[in-house]
């Protein structure tokens, strides 16, 4: 069963239209404001729920409550409610005066308001529907049933980087290649890798950690880098020099590749968004198919 949803009165939306103050004529509201009478529920004779009148038009308790809800005004004192009712009634009187003046295109405004209301109908319905459909338990169930989606193969690596780019000259590139080969030779001869990082690496961020890049994900890094870390090296081994778009590298495999599972708390939000999107698309399709739409010829 679909949720019941309360929507703001269309007239409430009209109340929010910004009024242009530089009119070519002067708006006068004395007759309307004289007719504005604030009343308690027991004092008004028009309807048990009428709490104020603007001219001959009553303001009901339900209408005013909807206005307060739209403004997110809750737990107001009796005095504050009276003040907001006064503001609401005066705004309603102002709109009524403008409509009566025929100086604005009411039909256009009504069309825009109708469009806003249609969007609100869809938005509020979906929000309520999806909240029911995508529960915390549904999110947990998805995580439990799709473990492979949240698992990745990672390896812990350190590197030495000598930077190059597309603009690096051949002469400078040759010099940098010589440097990385020199660092590689020293590493193979048993030199401390962290010391070589400090001496040669141009990646100063990782150099502060002995060249460590931490745990990197397979296929989430440059192909050459990923190939060395996940297919060529054994734990503790040092690669031959290779090049990526960042420059020349030597990497050390600090810890062999392993499967790492992302914890539920880390992916909870992603799962919820995914499930909501899936449920939204399915429900919109169902709703569209439940109503026949026919376009008349020459329409």
Higher pLDDT, 81 or 26: 81
Average pLDDT on 132-144 reads 95
Q: Which residue has the higher pLDDT, 112 or 211?
A: 211
Token pair in block for residue 5: 């949803």
**DSSP code per residue over 118-176:** HHHHHHHHHHHHHHHHS-HHHHHHHHHHTGGGGEEEEEEEEEEEEE--TT--HHHHHHH
249-253, 258-262, 272-276, 289-293: segment of lowest average pLDDT: 289-293
51-74 pLDDT per residue, tens: 988 888 889 999 999 999 988 998
| More reliable by pLDDT, 107 or 237 | 237
Domains (range + CATH), the chain: 10-133 (no CATH), 151-261 (3.10.50.40)
Asked whether the predicted pLDDT for residue 20 surpasses 50, the reply is: no
Q: Structure pTM?
A: 0.53
């Amino acid at each position: 069963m679909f949720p019941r949803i309360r929507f703001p009165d269309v007239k409430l939306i009209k109340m929010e239209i910004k009024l242009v103050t530089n009119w070519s004529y002067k708006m006068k509201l004395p007759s309307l404001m004289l007719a504005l009478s604030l009343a308690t529920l027991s004092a008004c004779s028009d309807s048990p729920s009428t709490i104020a009148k603007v001219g001959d038009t009553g303001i009901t308790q339900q209408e005013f409550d909807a206005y307060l809800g739209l403004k997110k005004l809750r737990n107001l004192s009796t005095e504050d409610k009276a003040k907001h009712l006064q503001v609401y009634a005066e705004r309603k009187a102002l709109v009524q005066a403008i409509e009566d003046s025929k100086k604005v295109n009411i039909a256009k405004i009504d069309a825009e308001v109708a469009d806003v209301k249609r969007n609100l109908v869809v938005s509020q319905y979906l929000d309520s529907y999806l909240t029911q459909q995508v529960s915390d338990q549904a999110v947990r169930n998805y995580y439990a049933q799709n473990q492979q989606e949240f698992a990745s193969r990672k390896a812990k690596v350190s590197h030495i980087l000598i930077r190059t780019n597309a603009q690096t000259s051949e002469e400078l590139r040759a010099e940098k290649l010589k440097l990385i080969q020199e660092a590689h030779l020293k590493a193979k001869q048993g030199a401390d890798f962290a010391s070589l990082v400090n001496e040669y690496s141009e990646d100063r961020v990782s150099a502060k950690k002995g060249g460590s890049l931490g745990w990197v994900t397979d296929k989430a890094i440059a192909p050459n880098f990923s190939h060395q870390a996940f297919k060529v090296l054994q734990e503790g081994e040092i690669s031959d020099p290779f090049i990526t778009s960042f420059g020349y590298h030597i990497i050390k495999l600090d810890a062999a590749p392993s499967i790492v599972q992302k914890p539920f708390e880390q992916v909870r939000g992603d799962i919820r968004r995914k499930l909501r999107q899936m449920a939204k698309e399915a429900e919109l399709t169902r709703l569209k198919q439940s109503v026949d739409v026919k376009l008349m010829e020459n329409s």
